[in-house]
Amino acid sequence: MTDARGLRTDLSLRASGILSLAIALIAIHTLSRLQPQTGPFAFLLATIGFVCASAGAMLVVVGGHIHDPVSISARWRRAAR
């Protein structure tokens, strides 16, 4: 990714990953401050925290290479009809 468009895509994906990690941090911090930690709101905060942390970490680490092709072994390829 040497061109400007690829660099812009890479940086924007990594920035959105950092934003997603910040959202996860806020959700988990809010969840930890709840007194009765039961109910639908607590489960919603836990889900938001988990999903945003997982996606954010992946975007920060992988960045623009998320669109790279992956080779699949012959065992898992579709059979020719």
Query: What's the token pair of residue 9?
Result: 């895509």
Three-class secondary structure of residue 36 per DSSP: coil
Q: pLDDT tens digits, residue range 13-37?
A: 999 999 999 999 999 999 999 877 7
Q: pLDDT tens digits, residue range 54-67?
A: 999 999 999 888 88
Judge whether residue 7 has pLDDT over 60.
yes
- More confidently predicted of 9 and 81: 9
R_g of the chain, CA atoms, integer Å: 18
Alpha helices, DSSP H, located in the chain: 4-33, 40-62
pTM: 0.78
Where do the structural domains in the chain lie, given as residue ranges?
4-76
Query: What's the token pair of residue 1?
Result: 């990714």
Judge whether residue 6 has pLDDT over 90.
no
Query: What's the token pair of residue 77?
Result: 């390829």
Q: Looking at residue 1, what is its pLDDT?
A: 45
